[in-house]
Amino acid sequence: MAARLKEEIAAEVKALTDKGERPPHLVAVIVGHDGGSEAYVANKEKNCLAVGFKSTNLRFDETITEEELLAEIDKLNNDPEVDGFIIQMPLPRHIDSQRVTEAISWRKDVDGFHPVNVGRMNIGLPAFRPATPSGIIELLKRYEIPTKGKHAVVIGRSNIVGKPIASMLMQKAYPGDCTVTVCHSATPDIKEQCRRADIIIAALGRPGFVTEDMVKEGAVVIDVGTTRVPDPTKKSGSRLCGDVDFDNVAPKCSYITPVPGGVGPMTNCILLLNTLAARKSLLPGEE
């Protein structure tokens, strides 16, 4: 599905450039040297180039002050050749990441973390929506999975996955119209909640947390977890592990996403889709 989405995006970019217009331009701002961020940004750049986008990485030393970084963001906000930009987290401790997030023009906030986008998404208005939950919604839509009246259980309540997917699934829309239960570390009966679920979204970062006895027959299981665990059989010495015990849970499901694969590649596509919309001065959902 992610490959098909990328083909569709590439075709739209080609239609733009064939008319002599510039391709979408995504900028990633990286402060300091975080291994995880480097890998993410390299992957993002690869995806951008694959669909014909312009991709720029703006790197700053970790000694940059908050004011200097805010000035750089202001430049990006006012640069007509930049359609969207993302600030790689985590930022060094001396920089207030919330202040930085709020300094981004919400019309260029393709990560969907600005409070204006968060608020618009919550009240059902077109908005840049965070890539991971948006990717899950796209999967449900493209596989034509019924959601209306279904009981969805979300495990995890982070601002980037749990809260937004819960909000999206409860919207009066398709995919949506679910009755949503959100579980977290203070939920005493997660097993029981999951057993009643038609749709389980596991986003807690605990490898293999969702076991076969927690899943009812025919459920849809979406595994967001990506935890790196040691694996001496791999050349790298480790592998990515999801939050679901895939081998034992899969036989009970009508649909299940694997890790790696599944949600991760869709997440990458949504960042591209958001940037394409920004290039057209639109918000996703306005076309």
**Catalytic residue numbers?**
44, 88, 111
Exposure letters 262-283 (e unless 16+ CB within 10 A, then b): bbbbbbbbbbbbbbbbbbeeeb
Closest C-alpha to 264, from 221, 209, 226: 226
At CA 144, angle to CA 143 and CA 145, rounded to 5?
90
Q: Out of 27, 87, 194, 203, which residue is the one contacting ligand NAP (CB under 6 A)?
A: 203
Q: Is 249 exposed, middle or buried (0-12, 13-18, 19+ CB in 10 A)?
A: buried
- The residue written with tokens 């001496």 in the block is 232
CA pseudo-torsion sign 202, 206, 208, 212: negative
Binding flag, residue 155, ligand NAP (CB under 6 A): yes
Binding flag, residue 264, ligand NAP (CB under 6 A): yes
Determine the Cα–Cα distance for residues 222 and 219; give it in Å rounded to an integer: 10
Determine the Cα–Cα distance for residues 171 and 220; give it in Å rounded to an integer: 19
Give least dist CB 182 to ligand NAP, A: 9
Binding flag, residue 164, ligand NAP (CB under 6 A): no
Segment near ligand NAP (CB under 6 A); pick from 18-26, 65-73, 100-108, 221-229: 221-229
CB closer to ligand NAP out of 111 and 198: 111
- Residue type present at position 265: P
Segment near ligand NAP (CB under 6 A); pick from 19-27, 84-92, 99-107, 220-228: 220-228
Binding flag, residue 224, ligand NAP (CB under 6 A): yes
Q: Out of 225, 245, 269, 278, which residue is the one contacting ligand NAP (CB under 6 A)?
A: 225
Site for ligand NAP in 114-153 (CB under 6 A): 132
User: From residue 221, how far is each of 84, 91, 93, 192, 225 by CA, in Å?
Assistant: 32, 33, 36, 16, 12
Alpha-carbon torsion angle 20, 265, 111, 144, nearest 10? 90
DSSP notation for 29-75: EEES--HHHHHHHHHHHHHHHHTT-EEEEEEE-TT--HHHHHHHHHH
Binding flag, residue 256, ligand NAP (CB under 6 A): no
Q: Out of 77, 122, 227, 248, which residue is the one contacting ligand NAP (CB under 6 A)?
A: 227
Site for ligand NAP in 178-197 (CB under 6 A): 183-186, 190
Segment near ligand NAP (CB under 6 A); pick from 24-32, 91-99, 160-168, 276-284: 160-168
Show the binding pattern over residues 52-91: x = contacts ligand NAP (CB under 6 A), - = does not. ----------------------------------------
Give least dist CB 174 to ligand NAP, A: 23
Contacting positions for ligand NAP (CB under 6 A): 132, 155-158, 160-162, 183-186, 190, 203-206, 224-227, 263-264, 267
